[in-house]
Amino acid sequence: MTAGRHFLQIPGPSNVPDRILRAIDFPTMDHRGPAFAEVGQKALEGMRGIFRTKGRVVIYPSSGTGAWEAALVNTLSPGDRVLMYETGHFAWLWSRLAERLGLRPETIVGDWRRGADPDAIEERLRADADHSIKAVCVVHNETSTGAVSPIAEVRRALDAAGHPALLMVDTISSLGSVDYRHDEWGVDVGISGSQKGLMLPPGLSFNAISDKAWQAARDARLPKAYWSWEEMEEPNSKGYFPYTPATNLLYGLNEAIDMLAEEGLENVFARHARHGAAARASVEAWGLEVLCARPEDRSPVLTAVLMPEGHSADAFRATTLANYDMSLGNGLSKVADRVFRIGHLGDFNDLMLCGTLAGVEMGLRDAGVPYRAGGLAAAMDELGATRQGQAPGAEAARGRKAGAR
């Protein structure tokens, strides 16, 4: 037996707060009974607020992968071409899923060290004179690399090219953590999941649907049954679902919606930005390299760290887990064993971040990874500066320039 609480510092599933655990713990109710309508309506309406949309939101009992599939099968037909921007492992998985559904994904290959390039998307769409591309798919926050894509700029790229393709955005690790504006940014289908910024266990996924996407669904010919938006429409209007929902997770979702509203979404986003800046200050003080190369693209919810040449990220993670009972995220596919990922999202505060970074620093020492001491102190400087209302990065940058550490 290991004393104390396990530190789950992967980039999702995130830690589930006690309030949500207690809500999930309520007895399961009749999902066809009159009392359930209030639960369902609150969840559906509350998620509109989280997505920042006045349009429809659909909730599935599934992982985020299901919501990827739902977005595609409800709007597209066999053989349709879709433009995917490969920002990392999850963008690649979404492209592979599209191919298996009988679509023709065309990939703009990135270097896995930055977000999607709107100029490259615009250039490709301008070349698509016959509008054979029916959808553009972008991951907002690429969980494998810690890079955020500028969705508002991607929408401007579509508009500048005069292209009618649907814009689909994966917000699985950004919704409820990173500023996302479904309606304002002109997103047609937003995709998300319960286990990241929404602070729930895995098991719920979401589609936020524009009017344009809803109209496209009327002509789409890919087969669908479980994922059908049309099947959801009538039951959802009364707070119900066409099949058995994940009732207890919906209890938890409603509690999460309340928690986010109590803190205020803008405050939630600012909190995550502070923690992202502090985590990166630690990495830089250690003399290590953040995987995301462009500072403006760096994620507020996780930090992916490159290991020094000749050192195994997985061996370091195993040492940290064995010695300090802390789980860190692994590198995926192209960056396997070269990267470890620090999750700092969801129900998370300054002290939890400092404990996490202390565990990383001790793990680096124990695993024999070359580093400079002082990462935790750099994070504390950053947190102190931003708590006093300064912009993220201000005090830590001044201190490093002055040779304070």
pLDDT in tens, 201-257: 999 999 999 999 999 999 999 999 999 999 999 999 999 999 999 999 999 999 999
Q: Is the pLDDT of residue 40 over 60?
A: yes
Q: Where are the strands (E) in 68-165, listed by range?
A: 81-86, 104-109, 133-139, 141-142, 147-148
Every domain of the chain with CATH number 3.90.1150.10 lies at 265-401
Q: What is the C-alpha to C-alpha distance for residues 286 and 237, in angstroms, rounded to an integer?
A: 53
pLDDT at 392: 56
Q: How many residues does the chain have?
A: 405
Amino acid identity, residue 11? P
> What stretches of 225-349 show up as alpha helix (H) in DSSP?
229-236, 247-263, 265-286, 313-324
How far apart CA 126 and CA 253 sit, in angstroms, is 41
pLDDT tens digit sequence for 133-175: 999 999 999 999 999 999 999 999 999 999 999 999 999 999 9
Task: Return the percentage of the chain with pLDDT > 90, whole number.
Answer: 95
Query: Where does CATH 3.40.640.10 sit in the chain?
Result: 18-261
* CB 306 within 8 Å of CB 342: no
Q: What is the pLDDT of residues 340-349, one digit of tens each?
A: 999 999 999 9
Check pLDDT > 90 for residue 178: yes
* pLDDT above 70 for 397: no
Residue for token digits 């985590």?
279
Report the percent of the chain where pLDDT is more than 70.
Answer: 96
What is the structure's pLDDT at 321? 98
Angle in degrees, 0-180, between the axes of helices 64-73 and 89-100, rounded to the nearest 10:
50
Closest CA to 11 of 275, 330, 291, 317: 330
d(CA 259, CA 178): 16
State in Å, rounded, how far the first CA of the chain is from the last one: 39
Report pLDDT for 389.
Answer: 53
Per-residue pLDDT at 319: 98
Q: What rounded mean pLDDT belongs to the chain?
A: 95
CB 372 within 8 A of CB 285: yes
The mean pLDDT of 3-24, rounded to a whole number, is 97
pLDDT band at 2 (very low <50, low <70, confident <90, very high): confident
DSSP state, residue 14: P
Rounded to whole angstroms, how far apart are CA atoms 373 and 160? 49
Round to whole Å and give the CA distance between 330 and 340.
5
- With a cut of 90, say whether residue 393 has pLDDT above it: no
Residues 183-198, mean pLDDT to the nearest whole number? 98
Q: What is the pLDDT of residue 316?
A: 98
Q: Which secondary-structure segment (H or E) carries 219?
A: helix 211-219
CA distances from 361 to 277, 342, 355, 356, 383 (A): 17, 12, 10, 9, 17
Q: Which residue has the tokens 């309340």?
A: 258
Give the angle subtended at the CA of 291 by the CAs of 14 and 312, to the nearest 5°. Answer: 85
Range 265-401 has CATH code 3.90.1150.10: yes
Annotated binding site: 341
Extract the annotated binding site for substrate: 341
CA-to-CA distance for 267 and 273, rounded, in angstroms? 10
Look at residue 386 in the predicted model and tell me its pLDDT.
87
CA dist., res. 173 & res. 11, Å (int): 8
Fold category of 18-261 in CATH: Aspartate Aminotransferase; domain 2 (3.40.640)
Q: How confident is the model at residue 387 (pLDDT cuts 50, 70, 90)?
A: confident
| Predicted pLDDT of residue 398 | 30
Residue 1's pLDDT is 74
CA distance 8 to 166: 36
Residue 395: its pLDDT value, please?
Answer: 37
